[in-house]
């Protein structure tokens, strides 16, 4: 079956967020909620949700076009329209009788064979379906999204005993390909996978921090980055989730889990939390949580809750050797004798021990558990990967020494050498029977990591590699720190072009990293500038421009496949590709002005072309103005769809929703283009010259007078204006692509010799934020 239209019932944060993600995928979606008593507009709840969606941060919607795909309605007047929908997602309040009453109404209105799923996080499927007709039971499952649905990749799907296999498959495939979710099949057990583990983790860590006398900052410093969790740790995570939710989640888990479950041993006695909730200190949505920003007295002071006194005090810098030493590995962290190390060991030993006893109760295999924690809690590594990092044998032995029980699965892993094994035919995981079996990705998903396991690169240096993707398609992978681009990256790009020219058909620019590229390596450039090595900088521009030209005019198609950040030089790489297949979450932009320079690798030139500066009838100024505004404001797209709106991407460029499908999609696009590829001809631009520059400069000066542009912005924008207006040309002359790049170089070299530019670069490297000077 195909899913062509979706209905979401319940226009709360989760329901509207799920609806937004369906719309992001390009599908029409109906969002329904009840008719509150005494209102004029009977669809007011869903309509209000749409207004909130448009304003929410981080934005649930990827584009303006997506917003138009959501239709707001109500459960009375629009109930019959359920018949239009192939999948109906229920996301209403967590009360059994409410849900069941709704299901009866839905069942009467939906079309036969359509799927109904619940987004419940606490109610078991067997209770939801108790007393329901078999026809509904066959079409029903749980689809548990994580908040916010656009950004959290995990989707837990729970099938009931009567659920049709093809219904589950249809929901899973749709959620994977269209919604971009990592689908994990969970069992009908309390909290499913991620919350069962995550809630244990939070509850245990909070208890231990109080018991062991750690401050909230210290606990979060340990339970964040050092263990591969987000830096919010546990206390800040509670602030984000909402403190008031924790007692509910805790109570529902306690009620649902058997008395023998390890969770029951955790203390639920947390008077401070009760006190905070009763005072309205419910976290970020309330008056503050374990942290707050105190704005008293015209000052913004970040404060933290003192766990002993229950009062706020200024946030303290954490100084724990164990945290500093965690770079030496997880074992170094948990073995450290300071209180951070002891805390880490106490929490992790309990947690990992607990989790090791949960397979196969909550999931069929360990890889699913790890995937759930990675994608549902944004951990870098799941619990079994953490055990492997500690060393399964080492961990089991240490548990034994401390007289803690060692679950059978862990004992097996300790004997066999861990939960995972890398092999040339892919990553393998330990099964319950003690054997290792291959971990399979959903059909059609592919990561470069899979290719890497099977062979060696065609070429490699410290910053980039070239891989063979099969079918005569090569992949240029960046792998420097943050994928910043340096001379090594450029020389590997040249090498890639050379390799493909000798008998391959296409080149894909792709890497598995979170961010495609943060831009050129400005650290190297800054050092060279500081010691006055101007030829090095000139060379960096020349080499970059040569590579961009070679990519653009290559006799084969080059397909860029970005995900995450693609900024500055990274964006310029993509602007020179024949086509781009972008992950939906792609944040592109030419942000050079933030560090006091202008795009120097053809970024200015390509934006002029994108803005249609070859088009004489309209005159050159609109295109120049548009490019100027975009580059001088360093606009970064908020999604791939938004990148199209900003013209960083072209209309024909592709968007892939699931991160794990980006590489195969890009490769397919490359092969499609290669079938009859004709390289582009250089564009002949018509630029206004000095008269246009005067107009742009006037715009800058107006900004400066209004206080919108800082002193150095005026200098930088002045250089940018000179480049975009074409220098000493006029509209009767043709300006070549090469000429614009020459102007880019001139502007770059002039700016990089100025103190404020060097100060901006230095500040960016030191703080990650632009310096306003």
Contact 464, 509 (CB under 8 A): no
Q: Is the previous residue joined to 749 through a cis bond, with omega within 30 degrees of 0?
A: no
Contact 344, 334 (CB under 8 A): yes
- The DSSP 8-state label assigned to residue 264 in this structure reads G
Closest CA to 556 of 670, 476, 681: 670
Residues numbered 732 to 761 that lie near other proteins (CB under 8 A) are: 755, 758, 761
Nearer to other proteins, 625 or 750 (CB): 750
Minimum CB distance to other proteins, residue 17 (Å): 42
Nearer to other proteins, 319 or 501 (CB): 319
Distance from C-alpha of 407 to C-alpha of 360, rounded to nearest angstrom: 12
Q: Is 768 in the site for other proteins (CB under 8 A)?
A: no
Q: Is 501 in the site for other proteins (CB under 8 A)?
A: no
Minimum CB distance to other proteins, residue 529 (Å): 8
Q: Under 8 Å CB-to-CB from 488, ≥6 apart: which residues?
A: 461, 462, 463, 464, 480
Q: Under 8 Å CB-to-CB from 445, ≥6 apart: which residues?
A: 176, 658, 660, 661, 664
Give Cα 573 to chain centroid, integer Å: 21
Q: Is 536 in the site for other proteins (CB under 8 A)?
A: yes
Nearer to other proteins, 274 or 319 (CB): 319
Minimum CB distance to other proteins, residue 712 (Å): 13
Closest CA to 358 of 123, 146, 198: 198
Burial 47-77 (b: 16+ CB within 10 A, else e): bebbeebeebeebbbbbeebbebbbbbbbee
Nearer to other proteins, 526 or 623 (CB): 526
Q: Is 221 in the site for other proteins (CB under 8 A)?
A: no
Distance from C-alpha of 773 to C-alpha of 771, rounded to nearest angstrom: 6
Q: What is the number of H-type helices and E-type strands within the chain? A: 32, 25
Region of 38 on the Ramachandran plot (φ > 0 left; ψ -120 to 50 alpha; else beta): left
Nearer to other proteins, 151 or 527 (CB): 527
Q: Is 766 in the site for other proteins (CB under 8 A)?
A: yes
| Listed ranges 36-44, 244-252, 306-314, 523-531: which one lies at the site for other proteins (CB under 8 A) | 523-531
Nearer to other proteins, 536 or 683 (CB): 536
Q: Give the three-state DSSP class for 630.
A: helix
Give the C-alpha distances (Å, rounded to integers) separating 478 from 105, 493, 560: 54, 9, 12
Return the residue of 84, 94, 512, 762 that touches other proteins, per CB under 8 A: 762
Q: Please work out the total of residues on this chain that contact other proteins, with binding judged by CB under 8 A.
A: 19
Contact 489, 541 (CB under 8 A): no
Minimum CB distance to other proteins, residue 481 (Å): 11
Cα–Cα–Cα angle for 542, 543, 549, nearest 5°? 90
Minimum CB distance to other proteins, residue 586 (Å): 29
Nearer to other proteins, 349 or 491 (CB): 491
Q: Give the three-state DSSP class for 589.
A: strand
Return the residue of 213, 470, 532, 711 that touches other proteins, per CB under 8 A: 532
Nearer to other proteins, 546 or 754 (CB): 754
Minimum CB distance to other proteins, residue 8 (Å): 50
Cα–Cα–Cα angle for 57, 63, 67, nearest 5°? 85
Q: Is 400 in the site for other proteins (CB under 8 A)?
A: no
- The DSSP 8-state label assigned to residue 28 in this structure reads -
Q: Is 319 in the site for other proteins (CB under 8 A)?
A: yes
Handedness of CA 562, 566, 572, 573 (dihedral sign): negative
Distance from C-alpha of 556 to C-alpha of 672, rounded to nearest angstrom: 11
What are the tokens at 448?
């470069």
Nearer to other proteins, 271 or 337 (CB): 337
| Listed ranges 379-387, 490-498, 643-651, 762-770: which one lies at the site for other proteins (CB under 8 A) | 762-770
Minimum CB distance to other proteins, residue 571 (Å): 23
Minimum CB distance to other proteins, residue 598 (Å): 20
Return the residue of 440, 530, 702, 736 that touches other proteins, per CB under 8 A: 530
Return the residue of 329, 523, 746, 770 that touches other proteins, per CB under 8 A: 523
Q: Is 526 in the site for other proteins (CB under 8 A)?
A: yes
Contact 721, 751 (CB under 8 A): no
Give Cα 31 to chain centroid, integer Å: 25
x/- letters, 446..485, toward other proteins (CB under 8 A): ----------------------------------------
| Listed ranges 53-61, 367-375, 528-536, 730-738: which one lies at the site for other proteins (CB under 8 A) | 528-536
Q: Give the three-state DSSP class for 233.
A: coil
What are the tokens at 353?
């021990």
Burial 301-325 (b: 16+ CB within 10 A, else e): eebbbebeeeebeebeebebebbeb
Q: Is 528 in the site for other proteins (CB under 8 A)?
A: yes
Q: Is 423 in the site for other proteins (CB under 8 A)?
A: no
Minimum CB distance to other proteins, residue 322 (Å): 13
Distance from C-alpha of 337 to C-alpha of 17, rounded to nearest angstrom: 45
| Listed ranges 339-347, 519-527, 599-607, 708-716: which one lies at the site for other proteins (CB under 8 A) | 519-527
Minimum CB distance to other proteins, residue 769 (Å): 15
Nearer to other proteins, 423 or 530 (CB): 530
Contact 124, 190 (CB under 8 A): yes
Minimum CB distance to other proteins, residue 332 (Å): 16
Q: Is 316 in the site for other proteins (CB under 8 A)?
A: no
Return the residue of 151, 270, 436, 527 that touches other proteins, per CB under 8 A: 527
Minimum CB distance to other proteins, residue 527 (Å): 4
| Listed ranges 20-28, 384-392, 529-537, 738-746: which one lies at the site for other proteins (CB under 8 A) | 529-537
Cβ atoms within 10 Å of 680's Cβ, excluding its own: 9
Nearer to other proteins, 212 or 458 (CB): 212
Q: Is 436 in the site for other proteins (CB under 8 A)?
A: no
Nearer to other proteins, 694 or 765 (CB): 765
CA neighbours closer than 13 Å in the CB half-sphere of residue 343? 34
Minimum CB distance to other proteins, residue 759 (Å): 8
Minimum CB distance to other proteins, residue 315 (Å): 19
Minimum CB distance to other proteins, residue 150 (Å): 37
Name the site residues for other proteins (rule: CB under 8 A): 319, 321, 523-524, 526-533, 536, 755, 758, 761-762, 765-766
């Amino acid at each position: 079956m195909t899913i062509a239209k979706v209905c979401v019932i319940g226009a709360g944060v989760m329901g509207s967020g799920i609806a937004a993600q369906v719309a992001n995928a390009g599908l029409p979606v109906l969002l329904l909620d009840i008719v509150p008593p005494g209102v004029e507009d009977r669809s007011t709840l869903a309509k209000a949700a749409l207004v909130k969606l448009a304003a929410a941060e981080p934005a649930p919607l990827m584009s303006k076009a997506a917003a138009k795909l959501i239709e707001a309605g109500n459960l009375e007047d629009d109930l019959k329209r359920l018949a239009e929908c192939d999948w109906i997602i229920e996301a209403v309040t967590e009360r059994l009788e409410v849900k069941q009453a709704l299901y009866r109404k839905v069942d009467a209105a939906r079309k036969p064979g359509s799927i109904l799923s619940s987004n419940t996080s606490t109610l078991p499927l067997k209770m939801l379906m108790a007393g329901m007709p078999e026809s509904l039971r066959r079409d029903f499952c749980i689809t548990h999204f994580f908040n916010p649905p656009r950004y959290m990749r995990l989707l837990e799907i729970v099938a009931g005993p009567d659920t049709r296999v093809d219904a589950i498959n249809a929901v899973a495939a749709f959620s994977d390909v269209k919604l971009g979710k990592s689908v994990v099949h969970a069992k009908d057990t309390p909290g499913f996978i991620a919350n069962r583990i995550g809630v244990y983790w939070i509850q245990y860590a909070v208890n231990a921090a109080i018991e062991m006398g750690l401050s909230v900052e210290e606990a979060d410093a340990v339970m964040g980055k050092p263990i591969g969790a987000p830096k919010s740790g546990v206390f800040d995570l509670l602030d984000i989730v909402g403190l008031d939710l924790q007692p509910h989640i805790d109570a529902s888990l306690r009620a649902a889990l058997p008395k023998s479950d390890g969770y029951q041993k955790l203390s639920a006695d947390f008077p401070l939390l009760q006190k905070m909730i009763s005072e309205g200190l419910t976290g970020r949505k309330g008056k503050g949580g374990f942290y707050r920003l105190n704005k008293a007295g015209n000052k913004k002071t970040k404060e933290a809750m003192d766990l002993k006194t229950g009062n706020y005090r200024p946030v303290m810098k954490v100084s724990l050797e164990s945290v500093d030493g965690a770079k030496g590995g997880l074992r170094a962290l948990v073995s450290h004798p300071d209180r951070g190390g002891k805390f880490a060991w106490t929490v992790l030993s309990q947690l990992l021990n607990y989790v090791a006893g949960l397979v196969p109760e909550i999931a069929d295999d360990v890889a699913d558990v790890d995937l759930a924690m990675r994608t549902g809690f944004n951990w870098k590594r799941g619990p079994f990967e953490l055990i492997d990092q500690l060393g399964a044998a080492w961990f089991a032995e240490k548990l034994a020494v401390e007289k803690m029980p060692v679950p059978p699965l862990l004992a097996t892993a300790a004997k066999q050498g861990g939960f995972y094994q890398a092999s040339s035919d892919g990553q393998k995981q330990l099964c319950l029977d003690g054997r290792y079996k291959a971990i399979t990705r959903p059909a059609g998903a592919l990561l470069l990591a899979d290719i890497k396991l099977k062979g060696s690169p065609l070429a490699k240096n410290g910053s980039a590699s070239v891989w063979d993707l099969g079918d005569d398609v090569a992949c240029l992978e960046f792998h420097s720190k943050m994928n910043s681009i340096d001379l090594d990256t450029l020389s590997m790009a040249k090498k890639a072009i050379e390799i493909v020219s000798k008998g391959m058909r296409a080149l894909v620019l792709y890497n598995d990293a979170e961010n495609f590229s943060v831009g050129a390596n400005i650290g190297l450039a800054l050092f060279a500038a500081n010691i006055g090595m101007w030829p090095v900088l000139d060379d960096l521009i020349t080499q970059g421009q040569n590579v961009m030209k070679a990519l653009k005019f290559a006799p084969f198609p080059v397909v860029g496949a970005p995900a995450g950040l693609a900024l500055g030089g990274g964006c310029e790489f993509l602007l020179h590709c024949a086509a781009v297949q972008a992950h939906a979450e792609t944040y592109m932009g030419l942000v050079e002005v933030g560090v006091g320079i202008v795009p120097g690798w053809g970024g200015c030139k390509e934006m002029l072309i994108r803005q249609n500066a070859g088009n004489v009838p309209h005159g050159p100024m609109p295109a120049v103005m548009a490019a100027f505004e975009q580059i001088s404001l360093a606009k970064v797209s908020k999604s791939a769809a938004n990148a199209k709106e900003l013209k960083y991407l072209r209309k024909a460029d592709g968007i892939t929703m699931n991160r794990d499908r980006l590489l195969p999609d890009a490769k397919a696009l490359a092969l499609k283009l290669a079938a009859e590829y004709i390289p582009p001809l250089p564009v002949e631009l018509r630029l206004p010259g000095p008269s246009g520059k005067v107009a742009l400069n006037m715009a800058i000066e107006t900004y400066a007078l209004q206080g919108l542009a800082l002193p150095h912005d005026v200098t930088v924008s002045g250089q940018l204006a000179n480049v975009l207006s074409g220098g000493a040309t006029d509209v009767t002359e043709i300006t070549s692509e090469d000429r614009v790049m020459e102007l880019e170089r001139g502007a770059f070299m002039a700016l990089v010799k100025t103190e404020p530019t060097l100060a901006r670069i230095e500040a960016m490297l030191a703080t990650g934020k632009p310096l306003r000077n």
